[in-house]
Amino acid sequence: MPANNGWWWTSPWLRALSLLLAVPLALLLLIHPGAMLPADGHYSHPLLMLVMLGVSGGFVHGVGFRPELRAWRVLFGPLLAWPLLLTGYVLLLKAQAGI
């Protein structure tokens, strides 16, 4: 069976992109979570949980792991992880801008 199974998102470049998006957010959330705190001083926990799901998906896709069960592949795949990671960066930019 070919390594990429014919799917476009199995490209090494796209896996590197997943890792490049996930690592900074993971480090930020672990080391300095206050950087994600908006001007009103209250976290949006549901949004942060989604961002952390995106970070998890970024790592799973980035290291090349492919879950067997279809539900896990969808949950931790790049098609869901990338928008959630971008949501994390938008939240970060909003928090830093004081919006």
Taken in order 5, 15, 30, 95, the sign of the CA dihedral is negative
What gap in Å lies between CA 82 and CA 75, rounded to an integer? 11
24 CB neighbour count, 10 Å cutoff: 15
pTM here is 0.88
88 pLDDT exceeds 70? yes
> Would the pLDDT of 25 be above 60?
yes
Angle (CA) 24-58-78 rounded to 5° is 140
Q: How confident is the model at residue 74 (pLDDT cuts 50, 70, 90)?
A: very high
**Mean pLDDT value of segment 46-60:** 96
The neighbour count for residue 31, using CB atoms within 10 Å, is 9
Provide the token pair at 42.
Answer: 């209250």
